[in-house]
Chains A and B, each alone.
Chain A
């Protein structure tokens, strides 16, 4: 449903303005499903993430950005608007200057820019909601790490971005997990004031939360079936050849494993 946006250019001390401001907040927080939104403020641009109260306060004191007519960052898709002409789309693109690549990575990983919120089907709705709550919590935790600078006065790296750069080096140079743990320990001892992640295990969890993980599916050692899907997941032995899926019953090792990266 197209929303009336003529109020955007009206003066902000109007009664009408405060009413519709609430409407905007309802719209933005309803779509994002999280505690924070990227808030439109002419002074700060669209770069900071804030809670609802702060956004309300700022938008009351300062005018709503005049050019921001399609609420692209707040869950409004281009198809929802009636007049999707080239100029207004370009205005929004000009407003969004992605300075912080970490935020882009986070948004890509969690799909919070409002693309996937509108199109989940009714059957999977409940499951999706549960998943989103968990996802929102992860997102908030990662965002907190991203807003925290590595040490006091450091502008170049946040806690999250430093860890990601280090992990990138680990992957490119094929460092072992043990080497990574030892380097992290050394860094922590040498620079006491800096905020490194506690362990390599924690760093790996962050990578998993960003969607760069894989799923292990056990398979029948004679290639008859995968222990995958609702019916087969709980089975202990193959439906067809009755071979156990474990290689060693004491160690609980699977005989054959398929790793999928989706």
Chain B
């Protein structure tokens, strides 16, 4: 990791939100509650907070029903608002190729990812 990225990875803990406007997930109640529940994790600002996002698209024609692709993207929420939603900081973790979307059963596909993060 470059020295510039290292600085921005602790941004969420270092800067105070003075005007109390919401512009980053760390300004929300959910984030603060998470910090209270997991004190050990919140203690070190270098711990990486990842968001997971996915959406499907049809590569062959917009209404095609024969094939769809679901990329799963990880977003590092540690970085400042200008950086964390940039394409360059997204981590493409995996891609699901199939005829139909996985829907709620997506947890089956996340097993390798969870194992990687725990190890």
A-side residues, CB < 8 A to B, are: 217, 219-221, 223-226, 228, 255-262
Find out whether the CB atom of A228 lies under 8 angstroms from the CB atom of B98: no
| Interface locus among B20-28, B39-47, B88-96 | B88-96
Q: Tell me, rounded to whole Å, the shortest Cβ–Cβ distance linking B119 to chain A.
A: 10
- Chain B binding surface SS class: mixed
Alpha-carbon distance between A92 and B93 when the two chains are bound, in angstroms: 36
Q: Is B105 an interface residue (CB 8 A)?
A: yes
Q: Is B57 an interface residue (CB 8 A)?
A: no
Taking a contact as CB atoms closer than 8 A, the residue among B94, B97, B99, B106 that contacts A261 in the complex is B94
Find out whether the CB atom of A259 lies under 8 angstroms from the CB atom of B94: yes
Taking a contact as CB atoms closer than 8 A, the residue among A225, A226, A256 that contacts B98 in the complex is A256
Alpha-carbon distance between A260 and B95 when the two chains are bound, in angstroms: 7
Find out whether the CB atom of B99 lies under 8 angstroms from the CB atom of A219: no
Instruction: Give the size of the chain B interface in residues (CB under 8 angstroms).
Output: 18
* Contact residues in B for A262 (Cβ distance below 8 Å): 93, 112-113, 116
Alpha-carbon distance between A65 and B29 when the two chains are bound, in angstroms: 56
Find out whether the CB atom of B98 lies under 8 angstroms from the CB atom of A217: no
* Contact residues in A for B103 (Cβ distance below 8 Å): 223
Alpha-carbon distance between A258 and B107 when the two chains are bound, in angstroms: 12
Find out whether the CB atom of B116 lies under 8 angstroms from the CB atom of A226: no
Interface residues of B in 60-119 (CB under 8 A from A): 92-99, 102-103, 105-106, 108-109, 111-113, 116
* Contact residues in A for B93 (Cβ distance below 8 Å): 260-262
Alpha-carbon distance between A65 and B80 when the two chains are bound, in angstroms: 43
Find out whether the CB atom of A224 lies under 8 angstroms from the CB atom of B112: no
* Contact residues in B for A225 (Cβ distance below 8 Å): 108
Alpha-carbon distance between A259 and B99 when the two chains are bound, in angstroms: 15
Find out whether the CB atom of A257 lies under 8 angstroms from the CB atom of B98: yes
Find out whether the CB atom of B112 lies under 8 angstroms from the CB atom of A228: yes
* Contact residues in B for A258 (Cβ distance below 8 Å): 94-97, 109, 112
Alpha-carbon distance between A225 and B93 when the two chains are bound, in angstroms: 19
Alpha-carbon distance between A261 and B73 when the two chains are bound, in angstroms: 11
Find out whether the CB atom of B102 lies under 8 angstroms from the CB atom of A223: yes
Whose C-beta in chain B lies nearest to the C-beta of A225?
Answer: B108
Find out whether the CB atom of A226 lies under 8 angstroms from the CB atom of B111: yes
Alpha-carbon distance between A98 and B42 when the two chains are bound, in angstroms: 36
Alpha-carbon distance between A225 and B116 when the two chains are bound, in angstroms: 18
Q: List 15 A-B contacts (CB under 8 A).
A: A217-B112, A219-B109, A223-B109, A224-B105, A225-B108, A226-B108, A226-B111, A226-B112, A255-B99, A256-B96, A256-B99, A259-B95, A260-B94, A261-B94, A262-B116
Taking a contact as CB atoms closer than 8 A, the residue among B95, B97, B105, B113 that contacts A223 in the complex is B105
Q: Tell me, rounded to whole Å, the shortest Cβ–Cβ distance linking B102 to chain A.
A: 5
Find out whether the CB atom of A259 lies under 8 angstroms from the CB atom of B97: yes
Alpha-carbon distance between A163 and B24 when the two chains are bound, in angstroms: 41
* Contact residues in B for A221 (Cβ distance below 8 Å): 98-99
Q: Tell me, rounded to whole Å, the shortest Cβ–Cβ distance linking B107 to chain A.
A: 9
Alpha-carbon distance between A237 and B109 when the two chains are bound, in angstroms: 17
Alpha-carbon distance between A202 and B108 when the two chains are bound, in angstroms: 34
Q: Tell me, rounded to whole Å, the shortest Cβ–Cβ distance linking B114 to chain A.
A: 12
* Contact residues in B for A256 (Cβ distance below 8 Å): 96-99
